[in-house]
Amino acid sequence: MPKKGGRPKLENPRSVHLGFRANKDEAQKIHDQAKARGISPGEFCRLAALGKKIPSGTVPEINRQTWAELSRIGNNLNQVARHLNQGSGNSDLAPVLDDVLSQVRKIQLEIIEAGK
């Protein structure tokens, strides 16, 4: 029998629909909070009601700029390390470059965590 295409079936699908009433101010706050976090109002309410972690939202522009600059630095370091590993230049610098690149990646992870 040929395999069907499409999305795989969920193990525990959400099949029960819940509804609740809110006043205009409450509804607007829920919509605003959900939109700021990039999720639907229903997902926002479900996560909040279950005490689960709600995404923190969009990454601030300064973090995006810092991330982009660190990516450029990392790419340049990779090019220098590759050049050294191919036998051109001082091979003693390769471990140092690897360490610096590792530090750049750690800083990028800290930026991600700070944006959450």
**pLDDT value for 50:** 93
Residue-level pLDDT at 44:
93
Per DSSP, which regions of 13-94 are E strands? none
Which tokens is 42 given? 């229903």
Q: What is the pLDDT of residue 31?
A: 94
- pLDDT attached to residue 98: 79
Model pLDDT, residue 47: 93
Reading the block at residue 26, the tokens are 């409450």
| The pLDDT value given to residue 40 | 92
For the chain, give every domain's residue range.
21-57, 61-114
| Mean pLDDT, each 10-residue run in order, the chain (116 residues) | 72 88 95 88 93 79 78 84 74 77 82 66
